Amino acid sequence: MTEPVKTLRVVIADDHEIFRDGFRVMLKKQAGIELVGEASNGEELLTITASLKPDVVITDIRMPRLDGIEATRRLQKEQPGVAVIALSMFDEEHLIVEMMEAGAKGYLLKNAQKEEIVEAIETVANDATYFCKHTSKKLIGLFGESHFNPFKKRSPNDLNEKELQILGLICDEYSSKEIASLLRMSTRTIESYRLTLLDKIGARNMAGLVIYAVKNGIYKT
């Protein structure tokens, strides 16, 4: 008999009520995800998380009384089983890095689409790291300089010469069609390599691949 799929319990923290309202409406009909609580500041977030014990917390970085960075640090000590996703604006790259170093498992821009939010929730709930699809070059560079490295167990030695070559071209923002033309291979073959790289590295999207390459000295921003 097949076991029922677990519903992921989520808490959202943001000091703007309008944002929380929109988030609640967005997830209301999403199968497999339930918004179980809301907080307007970091202290309230810690309190309701201790009470509700969600699977995932999605929190703004800038909040009154206790910001998202310190709240994340405390959650890691008090409730290490809770996965944290940081919510960020476009110009908060340094704060995103601080959030990840504090223990967050992923980050999203506040204008992220529903599909990406759902993907991020499912990813961190499975103990993997989620990098926003619209990660800037500046942020990738900051990750390269930071102590944050979710790929410590993934060695570049796991990749063969052709995979390393294709990864470098992906980092240079070549499309699959362009890579195929350069290497005299089919586009379908390059797409297969992309999937293999994602699987071997443990990334969910191209941003994850580039950050892996930077952290392992394969690519320089």
DSSP secondary structure string, 14-72?
-S-HHHHHHHHHHHTT-TTEEEEEEESSHHHHHHHHHHH--SEEEEESS-SSS-HHHHH
- Asked whether residue 171 falls in the same domain as residue 202, the answer is yes
Where is the domain boundary, 104, 138, 172? 138
- Beta-carbon contacts of 97 under 8 Å, excluding residues fewer than 6 positions away, are 139, 142, 143, 146, 148
Q: What is the mean pLDDT of residues 129-133?
A: 93
If asked whether residues 93 and 179 sit together in one domain, one would say no
Nearest residue to 11 via CA among 123, 96, 125? 125
Looking at residues 195-208, what average pLDDT do you find? 92
Q: Is residue 150 part of a domain?
A: no
Confidence (pLDDT) at 181:
97
Structurally, how many domains does the chain consist of? 2
Q: What is the pLDDT of residue 15?
A: 94
In a domain, 12, yes or no: yes
Per-residue pLDDT band for 84 (boundaries 50, 70, 90) equals very high
One domain, residues 124 and 167: no
Are residues 160 and 187 both part of a single domain? yes
On the question of pLDDT at 4 being above 70, the answer is no
Residue 151 falls inside a structural domain: no
Domain that holds residue 188: 156-215
pTM assigned to the model: 0.89
H/E run at residue 217:
none
Provide mean pLDDT across the span 203-217.
91
| Tens digits of residue pLDDT in 92-108 | 899 999 999 999 999 99
d(CA 145, CA 152): 15
pLDDT number for residue 42? 96
**Could you tell me if 93 and 171 lie in one domain?**
no
Domain shared by 190 and 128, yes or no: no
Is residue 26 located within the same domain as residue 69?
A: yes
**Mean pLDDT of the region 189-218:** 93
Return the closest-CA partner of residue 172 out of 215, 206, 133. Answer: 206
Collapsing DSSP states into helix, strand and coil, what is residue 136? Answer: coil
Same domain assignment for residues 133 and 174 = no
Same domain, 88 and 15: yes
What residues form DSSP beta bridges with 34? 9
Tokens representing 48?
Answer: 């309701």
pLDDT at residue 59 tops 60: yes
Q: Is the pLDDT of residue 14 over 80?
A: yes
What average pLDDT does the chain have? 92
Indicate whether 196 belongs to any domain: yes
